[in-house]
Structures are given as C-alpha cells and as structure tokens.
Amino acid sequence: KRQVSTQSTWGTLVLTHPQPVYAVALSTNRAMVATGWGGVRVAGDRGDHGAAVWNITTGDAILTVRHADRVSAVAFSNDNTMLVTGSAPAAVVWRIPSGEKVLEVFHARPATVRAVAFSSDDTMLATGSTDTSQTHVAGQRHQQSSPVSCPAKQYKDPVLESCGRRN
C-alpha cells in the first residue's frame, strides 16, 4: 500500500514494507528514494530482508532486491545508476533499474555492513561494518578501533574518510 499526496510544498509519500525499515537514502536527482528492511528470523525461517528503489513522484517500485539478512545501509551512486546495500556479511552494488549485481564486498562473519558511500566520482566505494573495519574497493583496508556505525556520507575528494564511535 502506498499513499501519494501533494497537498503541501513537501508532499507526503508513504511506502509500506514487509518488515521494519532500517535504512533510507535519497537519490542526488531527488527522483528516487531507497529503503532497506529486514525481519526477525524465527525457527528456521530466513525472514524477509531486502531493499527497494521507489519513484518519489508515483510511489512505484523501480527495483526490489532480496538479501539473506537485514539491510542496514543504502546509498545511491552520484549518477543515480547504482544502489549499494549493506547487510551481513556484504555490501552489494546493484544496477538501477535492471537489478544486475555489479559488485559484492564481503566482510568477516558475523559482521554486518552498517555504512556505505560512493566517492563523488563513483569510482570508489567505502563500507563500514561491525567487524571494526572499513573497506575501500580500491584495495585499501583500514582497521578501526571500534565498530563503525554512521550514516553514509558523500565526499568531494577521492579520499574517503572513516567514521566510528571514537571519530
């Protein structure tokens, strides 16, 4: 069920999800919103976990992808052609709207990816996870002194910074 209202300057878009929502991001062109959700596993049931990209104007789903665990981070590429989702134990980059899996960055189990961000030129991806590390797809892996938990950030230079409880 979705509700689209344009009665005010801001308008209202209400999207219904199968499970609680843990992550949300707006596209840079303000045409799409991404959400990540996940449920509690019960006695062998894998639960319902995934992410979706929605058209802000119509409320229609543009892309829906499934994960084996709760999606706790989402971010759009700056050119709005890709979505990165963070879950356990990996961050996955998906092409919009085809849903093609472009890249998968694994963290050590039982880590959960909690923060994801593209560089401003979309050539690098930073991921932060509960295994106290940050991964740059460019091949650099830096140890953190505490688990990473922060919102995705966009940086104006190609050097991506890390964030954590002590930063």
Extract long-range pairs of 160-165: CB within 8 Å, 24+ residues apart. Answer: 160/117, 160/119, 160/124, 160/126, 160/136, 162/126, 162/128, 162/134, 163/115, 163/128, 164/128, 164/132
Give the span between the Cα atoms of 110 and 21, in whole angstroms: 21
d(CA 5, CA 56): 11
CA distances from 129 to 72, 104, 126, 141, 146 (A): 10, 14, 10, 12, 10
Tens digit of pLDDT at every position of the chain (167 positions): 444 443 445 567 788 777 888 999 999 999 999 999 887 665 555 668 899 999 998 889 999 999 888 999 999 999 999 999 999 888 899 999 999 998 888 877 678 888 898 888 888 888 888 876 656 454 344 444 444 444 444 433 333 444 444 33
Report pLDDT for 54.
93
Q: Are 158 and 119 in contact (CB under 8 A)?
A: yes
